C-alpha cells in the first residue's frame, strides 16, 4: 500500500497507480463545478487502487455561524424551577415552628388570640409573602429572557402559581405540627426541597420534556374560543375553530381521520409554517380552508367570513399556491396573471401594472420570459409563476402548499426571496417538509403529525423538537 500526501500531490506514486489519468477526469468535473461528485469518485478510485491519503492540507468546510444564546436555567432544566419555587417552604415551616418553640403561640393564645384568627392571619401573611416572591421571580426571569416565562402564557402561569403557593402554605401548616424545634424543621424542610425537586424531575421529566406536551396547543385553542366568543376576530385574518376532517372509508376500508380538531389563530403579517411528514393532513387542512373539501365538523373564519357559508366572499381575497402547479401549458406567464388578476377584480391600468410588478417580483419579466408559453418553462419558473398567481390582486390570506418542493437550491432561494417580500401585511400559511424552509420563511411553526399539532412555536425553538421527535416519524 502506498501513501499519497495530498489529493493533488504525490505525483510519482499517483502516476504509478494510474492516478494521473483519473485526476484529468476529476479536474474536468471540478471545472464543471461538480466538486462533490469529483471528490467522491476520486476517493473511490484511490480506495480501489489501495492508496491512502493524509489530509494534511485539507481545511474544514466553513460552517454557518450560529447565535450564542445563554439560557442558564436550561443547564439545570426543570430542577431550577422546582427548587426556586419551593424555597419558601422551609421559610414558612421554620417560622411556624419558631412560634411554637418560643411559646409565642401560647402567649398569644393566653392574650386572647383564638386559633381561627391566628391561622387566618398567618395564612394571609404567607400568601402575600409567597405572592411577592413569585412575582419577583417571574419578572426577573422574564427580564433576563428565560424560556420558561417567555413561552408560557402569563394567565396560565398566574393560575398555576396561585394554586401552588396555596398548596405549599397548607402543606407547611401540616408539616409544622410534627416539629417542635426550629433546627430540625429547617434541616428537614431543606432536605424536602432538595429531595422532592430531584424526585419530581426524575418522575415528571418525561412529561415536561415530551414534545407533544400540549401547553401551547391548549392555549391556542383557548385563544380561538375566546376570539370566536367575543367576535373580536378582525385582527386575526385566519381562525380555524376545531376543524376536523374524516374521509369516509371505501371498499371495506375504515374511515380516515385526516385532520383532528385543529384550532389556530393567525394574526395579520404572520407567516405560519405547517411542518410534517407525508399524510399528516396538511393538504386536507388547506383544502378545507380554500373550499375544495367540506369539513366534517368545526369551522374556520377567513377575515371574519365563515368557510361554511361565505366561501365566495373568501375567494375574492385569498391566494393559493397548490402543491402541484395547475397551469395551462399553452398560455404565457403574463396571460395566467392577467386571467387571475381579472378574477380578483383588477381592471385596466391597475391590472397591467399589477401583472408587470408580479412578473418582475418572481424574475419572469426580463428577457421576455413572461411572454413565453408555460410549456417552455423549467420547474422552478412554473413554481415561481404559481407563487405569483397566489399573490396577484394583493390577497390578505395566502396558502402555499409545499411551494419549493422539487426545486434546485438556486431556484428555491429565488422563490424564498419572493415569499419573504410578500410576507408583509398578509397572513400566509405554508406547508413544508423542510425545516430549513420553515426557518427562513416562517414566523411561527406548527409540527403536524397524524392530523394534529404536536407542538407550536418559533421555528428556531422548535427546530430541535423537529429533529428529535419528527425525525422518528419521517425517517
376 in Cβ contact with 405 (< 8 Å): no
Q: How far is the CB of 244 from ligand ATP (least distance, A)?
A: 12
Under 8 Å CB-to-CB from 259, ≥6 apart: which residues? 243, 244, 245, 281, 284, 285, 288, 295, 451, 452
Size of the site for ligand ATP (CB under 6 A): 12
Strand pairing of 238-247 and 452-457?
unpaired
278 binds ligand ATP (CB under 6 A): yes
**Contact flag: residue 284 with ligand ATP (CB under 6 A):** yes
In angstroms, rounded to a whole number, what is the distance separating the alpha carbons of residues 399 and 243? Answer: 16
Q: Tell me: does residue 273 bind ligand ATP (CB under 6 A).
A: no
C-beta of 277: minimal distance to ligand ATP in Å? 7
Using the 8-state DSSP alphabet, how is residue 468 labeled? I
Whole-number minimum distance, CB 294 to ligand ATP, in Å? 12
Q: Report whether 243 contacts 299 (CB < 8 A).
A: yes
Query: How far is CA 299 from each of CA 228, 251, 431, rounded to the nearest angstrom?
Result: 11, 29, 20
101-106: long-range contacts (C-beta < 8 A, 24 or more apart)? 101/180, 101/181, 101/182
Asked if residue 282 binds ligand ATP (CB under 6 A), the reply is yes
Name which position in 7, 273, 281, 322 contacts ligand ATP (CB under 6 A): 281
Q: Which stretch binds ligand ATP (CB under 6 A): 207-215, 229-237, 278-286, 392-400?
A: 278-286
Q: Does 66 bind ligand ATP (CB under 6 A)?
A: no
Q: Which stretch binds ligand ATP (CB under 6 A): 6-14, 104-112, 279-287, 324-332?
A: 279-287
Q: Are 392 and 354 in contact (CB under 8 A)?
A: yes
Task: Give the footprint of ligand ATP on residues 192-251 (CB under 6 A).
Answer: 247
Q: Which of 256, 315, 344, 444 binds ligand ATP (CB under 6 A)?
A: 256
Choices 179-187, 214-222, 281-289, 418-426 (CB under 6 A): range interacting with ligand ATP: 281-289
Grouping H, G, I as helix, E, B as strand and the rest as coil, residue 396 is: coil
Nearer to ligand ATP, 258 or 314 (CB): 258
Cβ atoms of residues 134 and 85 within 8 Å = yes
- CA 375 vs. chain centroid, Å, equals 37
Given the complex with ligand ATP, which of 17 and 282 has the nearer CB atom? 282
The reply to whether 46 sits near ligand ATP by the rule CB under 6 A is no
Question: Rule CB under 6 A: is residue 283 a binding residue for ligand ATP?
Answer: yes
Instruction: Find the length of the chain.
Output: 475
Pick the closer one to ligand ATP by CB: 201 or 452: 452
Give 141 or 322: the residue with its C-beta nearer to ligand ATP: 322
**Cβ neighbours of 322 (radius 10 Å):** 19
Binding site for ligand ATP (CB under 6 A): 247, 256, 258, 276, 278-284, 323
Amino acid at each position: 500500500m502506498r501513501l499519497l500526501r495530498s489529493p493533488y500531490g504525490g505525483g510519482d506514486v499517483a502516476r504509478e497507480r494510474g492516478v494521473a489519468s483519473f485526476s484529468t477526469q476529476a479536474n474536468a468535473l471540478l471545472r464543471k463545478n461538480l466538486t462533490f461528485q469529483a471528490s467522491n469518485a476520486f476517493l473511490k478510485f484511490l480506495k480501489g487502487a489501495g492508496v491512502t491519503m493524509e489530509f494534511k492540507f485539507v481545511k474544514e468546510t466553513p460552517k454557518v455561524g450560529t447565535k450564542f444564546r445563554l439560557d442558564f436555567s436550561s443547564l439545570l432544566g426543570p430542577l431550577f424551577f422546582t427548587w426556586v419555587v419551593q424555597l419558601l417552604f422551609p421559610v414558612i415551616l421554620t417560622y411556624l415552628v419558631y412560634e411554637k418553640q418560643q411559646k409565642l403561640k401560647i402567649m398569644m393564645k393566653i392574650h386572647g388570640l383564638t386559633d381561627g384568627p391566628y391561622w387566618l392571619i398567618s395564612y394571609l401573611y404567607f400568601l402575600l409573602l409567597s405572592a411577592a416572591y413569585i412575582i419577583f421571580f417571574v419578572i426577573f426571569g422574564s427580564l433576563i429572557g428565560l424560556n420558561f416565562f417567555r413561552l408560557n402564557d402569563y394567565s396560565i402561569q398566574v393560575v398555576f402559581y396561585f394554586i401552588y403557593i396555596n398548596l405549599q402554605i397548607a402543606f407547611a401548616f401540616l408539616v409544622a405540627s410534627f416539629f417542635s424545634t426550629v433546627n430540625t424543621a429547617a434541616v428537614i424542610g431543606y432536605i424536602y426541597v432538595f429531595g422532592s425537586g430531584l424526585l419530581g424531575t426524575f418522575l415528571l421529566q418525561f412529561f415536561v420534556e415530551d414534545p407533544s406536551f400540549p401547553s401551547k396547543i391548549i392555549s391556542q385553542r383557548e385563544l380561538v374560543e375566546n376570539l370566536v366568543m367575543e367576535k373580536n376576530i378582525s385582527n386575526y385574518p385566519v381562525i380555524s375553530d376545531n376543524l376536523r376532517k374524516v374521509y369516509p372509508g371505501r371498499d371495506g376500508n375504515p374511515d380516515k381521520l385526516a385532520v383532528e380538531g385543529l384550532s389556530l389563530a393567525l394574526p395579520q403579517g404572520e407567516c405560519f409554517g405547517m411542518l410534517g411528514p407525508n399524510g399528516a393532513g396538511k393538504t386536507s387542512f388547506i383544502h378545507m380552508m380554500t373550499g375544495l373539501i367540506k369539513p366534517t365538523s368545526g369551522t374556520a373564519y377567513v377575515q371574519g367570513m365563515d368557510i361554511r357559508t361565505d366561501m365566495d366572499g373568501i375567494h375574492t381575497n385569498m391566494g393559493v399556491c397548490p402543491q402541484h402547479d395547475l397551469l395551462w401549458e399553452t398560455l404565457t406567464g403574463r396571460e395566467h396573471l392577467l386571467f387571475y388578476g381579472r378574477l380578483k377584480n383588477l381592471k385596466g391600468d391597475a391590472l397591467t401594472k399589477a401583472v408587470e410588478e408580479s412578473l418582475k417580483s418572481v424574475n419572469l419579466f426580463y428577457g421576455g420570459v413572461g411572454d413565453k408559453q408555460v410549456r417552455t418553462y423549467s420547474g422552478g419558473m412554473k413554481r415561481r409563476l404559481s407563487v405569483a398567481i397566489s399573490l396577484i390582486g394583493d390577497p390578505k390570506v395566502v396558502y402555499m402548499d409545499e411551494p419549493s418542493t422539487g426545486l434546485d437550491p438556486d431556484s428555491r432561494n429565488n422563490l424564498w426571496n419572493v415569499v419573504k417580500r410578500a410576507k408583509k401585511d398578509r397572513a400566509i400559511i405554508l406547508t413544508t417538509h423542510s425545516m430549513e424552509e420553515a426557518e427562513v420563511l416562517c414566523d411561527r411553526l406548527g409540527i403536524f403529525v397524524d392530523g394534529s399539532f404536536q407542538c407550536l412555536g418559533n421555528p428556531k425553538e422548535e427546530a430541535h423538537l423537529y429533529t428529535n421527535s419528527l425525525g422518528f416519524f419521517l425517517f
